[in-house]
Amino acid sequence: MVFNKQAIKNFLGELPYTAELYWQFRQGGKPLSKSFSLRRTEKRLPLWKAQAQAAAQAHQPEQPRRIAIFTTLRYWIEHGVLLGMAAAGLGHQPTLAYLPYANFKARLNRFDLRRHNAYAQTVLRQAAPLLKTVSLYDLILEQTPGNQLPQELRSALEALSLRDVQYSLNREEVDNRSELYRLRLERNTQAAQVALSWLERNRPDILLTPNGSILEMGAVYLVARHLEIPVITYEFGEQRDRIWLAHNDEVMRQDTDAMWQARGAEPLNDEQQRQVRELFASRQRADLWQNFSRRWQGLPSQGGEQARRTLGLDQRPIILLAANVIGDSLTLNRQIFTQSMTDWLQRTVRFFYDLQNVQLVVRIHPGERYTQGPSVAEVVRQALPDIPQHIHLVAADAPLNTYDLMEIADAGLVYTTTVGMEMAMSGVPAIVAGQTHYRGRGFTLDPKSWQEYEQAVAGLLADPSKRRLSQPQVEIAWRYAYRFFFEYPRPFPWHLLHFWNQLEPWSISRALSEEGLSQFGGTFAELFEGQPRRWSIAA
């Protein structure tokens, strides 16, 4: 008789205690795979506990917050444990709720999931009593069929699951009948169902979850908003010692309205001008600068005329279209008058097809080198199988610096990339098609319909030399860039991608000391107490 291993696992996964006993006695309490190994956390937990316990003696807030932290995936769970310990060290009462998934786009049988769950529980219960831990997967196993969600949540979860597929595949045009969509909808629905019942029974003062726009974190965010529980979403950008925070909002929306309303009119002082100019110059040179850890440009600036020669451009006006990476979380669900960024790209290149009196340069985002989805080049060729000579595609790995293209551009077209803001900093007028944080700040053209978009493009082409931004507009762009890069992110000691290394200079003890709180105290208050950012006070 031939036994199917997967079928056996599926069968055993339905029997009580089989997976847990197998993991305990046959695997000796070890992780199933490197992708879900919590060994570094397990090794450091005793030290984290000792440091948090010592810190808690000095921090006794008048109103300790009951904090729920929700995470999934190994790296977010590890980071969540550290956050929980820091919250406990400040005198709060944190609970880490988690789902023991190792992969967000691959299905795992119940037998293996239960083994992941048993392993995670064994490691994480060592955080008690400072940090309570709750496996929501236990609640999934216990829940009865037919547990219904309100219609508004079901609809929101369907949209979330579709966005998950787009994010997973780096593709905007996806099939909601695919296996991946069914997996994402199933997991998001399960997460929402158990989170709804658990949060109703154990209502916290505040809930923290990463991102809030995708995956199970997005599902739990939706539930918290439905229950009107204050929720903080957080994410990390390219700055090593900074964190993005959002109150009752998806952090990747990067809502800078309050910041700009309070701080936008304030001119930059000499030191602030120096900082933002040095940052801008370093991006041109393709250098790393201070705490910025990402180098998007492949080579330093060679000058605009060199770029002109490389692409064979003549003296006709040049329009630079700077694309985002398709399926990036900063582009998904950011449409204003388009169906998607793909829709915008294809309609734009069709619009320019017969405009031979101009040159359109499509700069494909250098970040495409690190993604698996379709290239912007494929999207353009779908719209224009025969690309005319006045439309140029600059590949992600092309030996060209985007800032050299900005130098020779007469105007720019962007969806949500910060290149639109940086063009404005150089006086180049930019039309913004997507919902990005700098839209409507006074230095870009912001159409609300296809008709307005095409009229704006035609207006720029009518006489490009007279469409350069005024000096006051350029100054606004520089002010905004400083606020966005240096004030919008909050100081924080433990970036997700670097926190194991950052624990050397910033242990829990030091971060919660008088020295650490002088730098991070405001961030901790926002994160763990839900205190609103006071933008009227200089950051």
Q: What is the mean pLDDT of each run of 10 residues along the chain (539 residues)?
A: 51 56 67 88 96 94 94 97 98 97 91 88 94 95 78 96 94 92 96 96 97 96 98 92 95 94 94 90 58 43 82 93 89 93 96 94 88 87 94 90 90 95 94 97 97 95 85 95 95 95 96 97 95 73
Q: Can the peptide bond before residue 388 be classed as cis, meaning omega within 30 degrees of 0? A: no
- Write down the pLDDT at residue 23: 66
Q: Which residue type, as a one-letter code, is found at position 416?
A: T
- Other residues' Cβ atoms within 10 Å of the Cβ of residue 287: 13
Contact 123/42 with Cβ under 8 angstroms?
yes
- Write down the pLDDT at residue 295: 38
Q: What is the SS3 assignment for 266?
A: coil
Convert 315-327 to b/e letters by CB count within 10 Å (16 or more is b): eebbbbbbbbbbb
Lookup: tokens for 457: 């493009």
Rounded distance between C-alpha atoms, residue 311 and residue 211, angstroms:
39
**Sign for the pseudo-dihedral over CA of 405, 411, 417, 418:** positive
- Write down the pLDDT at residue 533: 87
- Other residues' Cβ atoms within 10 Å of the Cβ of residue 204: 20
- Write down the pLDDT at residue 246: 96
Q: Which residue type, as a one-letter code, is found at position 474?
A: V
- Write down the pLDDT at residue 299: 52
- Other residues' Cβ atoms within 10 Å of the Cβ of residue 58: 12
- Write down the pLDDT at residue 286: 52
- Write down the pLDDT at residue 313: 93
* Of 220, 247, 215, 216, nearest in space to 234 by CA: 247
DSSP 477-519: HHHHHHIIIIISSEE-S--TTTHHHHTTTS-HHHHTSHHHHHH
DSSP 413-476: EESS-THHHHHHHTT--EEE-B--TTTTSSSSB--SSHHHHHHHHHHHHH-GGG-SPPHHHHHH
Q: What is the DSSP-derived secondary structure letter of residue 292?
A: B
Contact 424/444 with Cβ under 8 angstroms?
yes
Rounded distance between C-alpha atoms, residue 145 and residue 151, angstroms:
17
- Write down the pLDDT at residue 319: 96
> Angle at Cα 431 formed by Cα 426 and Cα 435, nearest 5°?
110
- The helix (run of H) or strand (run of E) holding residue 98 is strand 93-99
- Write down the pLDDT at residue 82: 98
- Write down the pLDDT at residue 22: 67
- Write down the pLDDT at residue 148: 83
- Write down the pLDDT at residue 288: 37
Please name each of the domains of the chain with its CATH number. Answer: 5-254+492-529 (3.40.50), 267-487 (3.40.50.2000)
pTM: 0.90
DSSP 355-408: -TTSEEEEE--GGGGG--S--HHHHHHHH-SS--TTEEEE-TT-S--HHHHHHH
Rounded distance between C-alpha atoms, residue 29 and residue 31, angstroms:
7
